[in-house]
Structure 1
Amino acid sequence: MSDFAIIPAIDIKDGRCVRLYQGDYQQITVYDRDPVAVAQRWAELGAQQVHVVDLDGAKAGRPINAPIVFAIVRAVNIPVQLGGGLRDQAAVEAAINLGVARVVLGTAALRDPGLIGRLVASYGERIVVGVDARDGWVATAGWTETSQMRADELVRRMGALGVQRIIYTDIARDGTLQGPNVAAVEALVRAGGPAIIASGGVSTVDDLLALARVGAAGAIVGRALYTGSVDLPRALEAVRRLQHNVG
């Protein structure tokens, strides 16, 4: 079993660390007013990387919170992954110049696959594609639009372009603490291709272990960490034990 990463999510809106319910900008919970301090806390508790989402950028279609992202990169000594509003080469290059380790593109993967191919040629594994699904169909533009593309087909196409990592989000589970869609993740893993990082619905350590068992490369965890239903150090230790026993 390959290493399974538990990746804390830091979602930024109006300069604050928040979580949305099923991607709904009208159903928002503010967890902290200092995203930089939050990133430092996760790093101190053992996180190997953090996943930052510029929610304002996702909605606007262009990066909005670059100064905060830059401050996070400078404040922690672990890789920072960034998504939200990165829809052209200039935005991706600007993000990489901020010092982020990986950039996540979602809407662009559906609308401009040629761009993904060019970015992968330039930046390799630093290009990650987010596949956000509602009932199996890809959603775009900050989840405000649902496409006519099936999620598994988009994953296949991105793999053909050389994308090495996919973040798969089941929108119906996101921010709900109802458990991840393990079956959907397992189906994507079994199809072969890019590594699958699950996002949405994780509420317990058992959820993380279930994802690890079906071969996910990791999970992005948001609300469960902020509410305390998942304790990061304990979760990291549980995953280590599982991998040791399986290995």
Structure 2
Amino acid sequence: MEIIPAIDMQGGRCVRLYQGDFQRVTVYDDDPVAVAHRWVAQGAPRLHLVDLDGARSGHPVHTDIIRAIVQSVDAPVQLGGGLRSIAAVERALELGVQRVILGTAAVHDPELIRQLVQQFGDAIAIAVDARNDMAATAGWTETAAISAIDLVERMAALGVRRVIYTDIARDGTLSEPNIATTRALVRPGGPAIIASGGISTIDHLRRLAEVGVEGAIVGRALYTGDLSLSDALAAVQ
């Protein structure tokens, strides 16, 4: 199971939101590039970048920072936030991003997802962000009329091979991940699942590994020091 540090960007800084609320933001560093270097130096096998301003505006905003990270770290990067067109996905991949993550488009434009999967295959991942088990879109500001489980099934039918599942109510809270829903999403022959939201202890990581997820994205716990990256990596070796 991969341990993937999250770098969420807002206004050019590295931040964390509480339950996806843009009014409840904590700034952890003014230099996301330096943060990326720090996590990779500590052994991160991959970085999870989120362009929060992009998620709200519908188009990528932190392109220069993303480019600087991709070009200077020795680890693959996955990127989400504001990627809602073929052109936006192509630009992200041209920057050197290994994997692009789409969320809003998965709900509102499944035909786009089908086209992207056909064209880019494994480079496409889907973010299934859930509030009260229903999918959320537009930077988590809107709730759609489809459940997280149904959305994953719909994406699997389109050929999607990887899903990042986040329980918004737990994100940034240091509480615990939603093990029950995560377990329901991990199915033989289904998309690989990467878990996110509320992961803050070694026990959380071990429970997720037992469920069978491909990876775990860790954010606030790494920044507060509640969880060290070296301990997390060692726990799942």
Cα offset, 1:191, TM superposition: 6.8
Cα offset, 1:78, TM superposition: 0.5
> What residue in structure 2 maps to residue 245 of structure 1?
none
| Identity between Structure 1 and Structure 2 (%) | 64
User: 1:119 is matched by which residue type in structure 2?
Assistant: L
Cα offset, 1:15, TM superposition: 0.2
Match of 2:223 among 213, 223, 226: 226
Cα offset, 1:190, TM superposition: 3.6
Match of 2:108 among 90, 106, 111: 111
Task: Please tell me whether residue 84 in structure 1 is matched to residue 81 in structure 2.
Answer: yes
Q: Which runs of 4 or more aligned residues in structure 1 lie more than 2 Å from their structure 2 counterparts after TM superposition?
A: none
> What residue in structure 2 maps to residue 120 of structure 1?
117
> What residue in structure 1 maps to residue 14 of structure 2?
17
Cα offset, 1:158, TM superposition: 0.6
Cα offset, 1:42, TM superposition: 0.5
Cα distance in 2 for partners of 1:176, 1:238 equals 22
Cα distance in 2 for partners of 1:207, 1:23 equals 20
- Per-residue deviation, residues 90-144 of structure 1 (Å, max 9, x unmatched): 1000000000000000000011001011111111000000000011100000000
SS at match of 1:62: coil
Unaligned runs of 5+ in 1: 241-247
Cα distance in 2 for partners of 1:214, 1:115 equals 30
* TM-score normalised by structure 2 residue count: 0.99
Cα distance in 2 for partners of 1:155, 1:102 equals 18
- Per-residue deviation, residues 27-68 of structure 1 (Å, max 9, x unmatched): 000000000000000000000000000000000011001000
Structure 1 9/67 Cα, relative in aligned 2: closer, same or farther at 3 Å?
same
Match of 1:174 among 171, 175, 194: 171
> What residue in structure 2 maps to residue 243 of structure 1?
none
Task: Please tell me whether residue 216 in structure 1 is matched to residue 203 in structure 2.
Answer: no
Cα offset, 1:160, TM superposition: 1.1
User: 1:222 is matched by which residue type in structure 2?
Assistant: G
User: 2:182 is matched by which residue type in structure 1?
Assistant: V
Cα distance in 2 for partners of 1:210, 1:150 equals 23
Matches within 5 A, 1:3-82: 4-82=1-79
Task: Please tell me whether residue 137 in structure 1 is matched to residue 137 in structure 2.
Answer: no
Cα offset, 1:176, TM superposition: 0.3
Cα offset, 1:192, TM superposition: 4.9
SS at match of 1:234: helix
Cα distance in 2 for partners of 1:33, 1:114 equals 38
- Per-residue deviation, residues 2-32 of structure 1 (Å, max 9, x unmatched): xx01000000000000000000000000000
Match of 2:203 among 191, 203, 206: 206
Unaligned runs of 5+ in 2: none
Cα distance in 1 for partners of 2:149, 2:4 equals 23
User: 1:107 is matched by which residue type in structure 2?
Assistant: T
Match of 1:146 among 143, 146, 151: 143
* TM-score normalised by structure 1 residue count: 0.95
- Per-residue deviation, residues 156-179 of structure 1 (Å, max 9, x unmatched): 111111111100000000000001
> What residue in structure 2 maps to residue 100 of structure 1?
97
Number of residue pairs aligned between Structure 1 and Structure 2 = 237
SS at match of 1:51: strand
